[in-house]
Amino acid sequence: MCIFCKIINNEIPSKKVYEDDDVVAILDISQAGYGHTLVMPKKHYENILEIPDNEYSKVMSAVKKLSEKINKNVKPDGINVINNTNEAAGQTVMHYHVHIIPRFKDDDIRFITPDHQNKYDLDEVLKKVCE
């Protein structure tokens, strides 16, 4: 059983922010920003490519509500909502989850956004993406 399934089953401790029949939200053990929260389905799906639409909708609905709640109570300057899919994208726990990361002016969080200077032909990319 994966670590998040164990948390959902209360086999290992966590700081639960929210829970309903289908969704759980916990504080990330390693707070990238004050209030960093992980939202996940109770059922185990590996990633966004595996989770069915109805479960995805429930998770994202909770993500919106929790973003509003965190915004109201924590009062960050901004919020990042992030999902990492597969190891190449930085996924370390293979149970689908969404990060809500409160952001503050001058915090030191850097997401990698190198300037690729139009490395690709956008018409070719568009054709590929839409095929």
Told to check if 92 binds ligand AMP by CB under 6 A, we report yes
Q: Identify which of residues 7 and 66 has a Cβ nearer to Zn ion in the complex.
A: 7
Residue 82 and residue 109 in contact, taking contact as beta carbons nearer than 8 Å: no
Residue 96 and residue 46 in contact, taking contact as beta carbons nearer than 8 Å: yes
CB of residue 4 to ligand AMP, shortest distance in Å: 8
Q: Who contacts 6 (Cβ-Cβ below 8 Å, separation ≥6)?
A: 12
Q: Judged by CB under 6 A, which stretch of 44-52, 55-63, 91-99, 101-109 contacts ligand AMP?
A: 91-99
48 binding partner (options ligand AMP, Zn ion, none; Cβ < 5 to 8 Å by kind): none
3-state class (DSSP) for residue 46: coil
The Cα–Cα gap between 40 and 83 comes to 11
Q: Work out which of 42, 43, 44, 65 binds Zn ion, going by CB under 5 A.
A: 44
Q: Who contacts 104 (Cβ-Cβ below 8 Å, separation ≥6)?
A: 33, 34, 76, 77, 78
CB of residue 15 to ligand AMP, shortest distance in Å: 8
Q: Is 95 labeled as catalytic in the residue annotation?
A: no
Told to check if 14 binds ligand AMP by CB under 6 A, we report yes
CB of residue 84 to ligand AMP, shortest distance in Å: 4
Q: Who contacts 109 (Cβ-Cβ below 8 Å, separation ≥6)?
A: 32, 33, 80, 101, 103
Residues designated as active site: 97
Residues that bind ligand AMP (CB under 6 A): 3, 14, 26, 28-30, 38, 84, 90-93
